[in-house]
A and B are shown apart, each in its own frame.
Chain A
């Protein structure tokens, strides 16, 4: 990124940090957490410990980071190197990202930026100018992306509550600041489990590794009575709702399943798990030493804020998570896709000089689709 762009972004971020101390609060048990941050065009600084809001705000004002992170884990000595920190426990976290949902709309709003010649084009596998295959993909997520991500969040919450006895008050959902949601689970029985155990939880939620026998299909002498019923709890109940559709069709469909046999049933299961399994990023949940984007901080992939969603259904990130100011700024934009922020439409722009509000300029510059000159 050019110096002038960085300067502009830093100025905008600094103003946000200064004006919104109320949004950027340290999490509970602050002194047991590890903090970290990144500056534009620079590596990660981590293993930092912070006492309170004041110290955090000072760090933000002094360093003007592009991104700020905080561990979901609790340590005795968060500022020491990893193997000396003395890990105590970690909140359960989930990352749901629109890019992992295989949505058909992605095609329409993904842009390829060539690493060799900087040419911007609509989604392609090869640069249209220099044929390079070293392309960086940027997405300008749409409403559809957010709506489908919300469905995944709801699926996740339902299972956490029904199967794992977690109370809804202990589930906090945040917009990630870019194209998805971060879900935190507090005070659960899973605080102290390690990475491998968390990986098993992920498989459970994603409906990975299921055996036909679990849903009633046996290899030898299969019978009708072992198939799940509508009102069963857990995955058997959810499976039967998806597989049979309605109670009246159950019997007929079981007959078909029995005729088709075991191997075919395994294939059916794979399809079903794609539909009803929760699509979380397994790596995030499995990582018990991660520093995760700090709520209230700006995501430098978009200039939007990671913010708590109190009413997920109504939540609109493109109006509620954009906190940068409206001051006009002239930029040079090459953004082939239209986008909406604070209920205003922008673009498409083809290599043109435009004057837009700061929040829209930051959005495009963060996506590498505009520059200050």
Chain B
């Protein structure tokens, strides 16, 4: 269990136990709805969420992670805890996600600063311990770098789609990956977001507190703006077109290519009977085997697992990707041609 100082609680408020914190401070939740001084913290909490929904990071009153007055530190923690309460009261999951992400990015900034703090070893140690405790990533400091085991690196980096995060574009030595403080923290951003998100999801929803209604109503209105619509062009992505071409020519499509094609078409709602004829030209075509395999993929036979279409990254590794500009950084062939409006 991490023992946090007052300023760490302000930097990483999601590490505190909300109920206990308020109890320690001696303020019941209802008091925040009525007490004019405490209400400032609710106002701040609302602002904290609003900023998050705009994709911005909430600017705290801390200067270099330090507070000029003790009550500022307290208000930092209060506003976070109250923001969670407000979000729970709205019941909108889109707010949870956006808030968690923004808070993760905010915490990320503090973690990065602490890791890069050459003069204060205790700050570096605490940041390293937070990363280890929360995400089981063992970070060691080596000269100007932070090194982590390749396997730990991969568990997190596979969620990134930018090329610079590929292991091949990293300095790797003796089973470790070398990272800057910024990269070390960036690596766990998603998990930090997920962690904060789960904290909010698992928090109890209180009954409506008098004095909170206005904020909650405003937030509900705000979150309704985020619903998006998508339209589909219906055209197949180049990898799928390529696979179909190969089969039409009677050439051999490797097993991985057949898997991709079948799972793609199944996901698009085609039936096994509709897909089978595509494989007729394959050099080793056997209707019985093809039907068996397609039914297996569709989950209608065997274990009942429905197999999903491989991601673009996987297809690249298998040399099945023939990306064109229209692919536009999608991460699965299934997203091809979908436009957000």
Contact = CB atoms under 8 A, between A and B. Distances in A.
Contact of B167 (A83, A204, A211): A204
A214 interface: yes
A201 B164 contact: no
Contacts of A203: 166-168, 316-317
Interface stretch (B92-100, B152-160, B191-199): B152-160
Given A82-B305, A83-B305, A282 B250 contact: no
B158 A196 contact: yes
Contacts of B122: none
A188 B135 CA distance: 20
Interface string A134-148: 111000000000000
Contacts of B176: 165
A286 B317 contact: yes
A211 B162 CA distance: 11
Interface residues of A, number: 38
A196 B149 CA distance: 17
B211 to A, nearest CB: 48
State which size class the interface on B falls in.
Answer: 20 to 34
B313 interface: yes
Contacts of B151: 189-190, 192-193, 197
Contacts of A197: 151, 154-155, 158
A163 B302 CA distance: 41
Contact of A211 (B149, B163, B305): B163
A281 B302 CA distance: 27
Nearest to A202: B317
A292 interface: no
B174 interface: yes
A294 to B, nearest CB: 21
A163 B173 contact: yes
B273 to A, nearest CB: 22
Contacts of B171: 234, 236
Interface of B: 149-151, 154-155, 157-158, 163-164, 166-169, 171-176, 250, 255-256, 283-285, 302-303, 305, 311, 313-314, 316-318
Given A134-B250, A208-B168, A211-B163, 19 more contacts: A82-B303, A115-B283, A115-B284, A133-B250, A133-B283, A164-B175, A189-B150, A197-B155, A199-B317, A200-B157, A200-B167, A201-B167, A203-B166, A204-B167, A208-B317, A210-B168, A213-B164, A233-B173, A235-B172
9 contacts: A81-B303, A115-B283, A163-B175, A193-B154, A199-B314, A199-B317, A203-B166, A204-B172, A286-B314
